[in-house]
Amino acid sequence: MIDSSKNKIIGFVLLTIIVSVVGCRNHSRMFSTEKSMMVDSIQKQIIHAEKNYVIRKNDYLNVKIYTNQGERLIDPNSELAKGASSGGLVKEENIKYLVRTDGNANLPMLGDVHLEGFTLIQADSLLAIKYGKFYEGAFVITTMLNKRVFVLGPFPLGAKVIPLQNENINLIEVITLYGGIPDNGKAYNIRVIRGDLKNPNVNIIDLSTIDGMKKANLDVQPNDIIYIEPVRKLFLESFRDISPIISLLLSSISILILITRTVKL
- Residue 153 shares a structural domain with residue 222: yes
Give the per-residue pLDDT at 20.
Answer: 52
Give the per-residue pLDDT at 19.
Answer: 53
- Residue 108 shares a structural domain with residue 219: no
Its domain, for residue 109, covers: 60-144
pTM of the model: 0.65
In total, how many domains does the chain have? Answer: 3
Last residue of a domain, one of 98, 119, 144: 144
Give the per-residue pLDDT at 232.
Answer: 75
- Residue 28 shares a structural domain with residue 39: no
- Asked whether residue 20 is assigned to any structural domain, the reply reads yes
Contact 150, 178 (CB under 8 A): no
- How would you classify residue 242: left for phi > 0, otherwise alpha for psi between -120 and 50, otherwise beta? alpha
- Asked whether residue 55 is assigned to any structural domain, the reply reads no
pLDDT in tens, the chain (265 residues): 555 655 555 565 555 555 555 544 444 343 344 566 667 888 889 988 998 999 999 999 999 999 887 777 776 656 566 545 444 444 455 689 999 999 999 999 999 999 999 999 999 999 999 999 998 889 999 999 999 999 999 988 999 999 988 878 899 999 999 999 999 999 999 999 999 888 889 999 999 999 988 888 898 999 999 999 998 765 555 556 666 777 777 777 777 777 777 766 5
- Strand-pairing partners, residue 54, are 119
- Asked whether residue 188 is assigned to any structural domain, the reply reads yes
- Residue 81 shares a structural domain with residue 134: yes
Give the per-residue pLDDT at 221.
Answer: 92
- Residue 136 shares a structural domain with residue 167: no
Give the per-residue pLDDT at 129.
Answer: 95
- Residue 135 shares a structural domain with residue 170: no
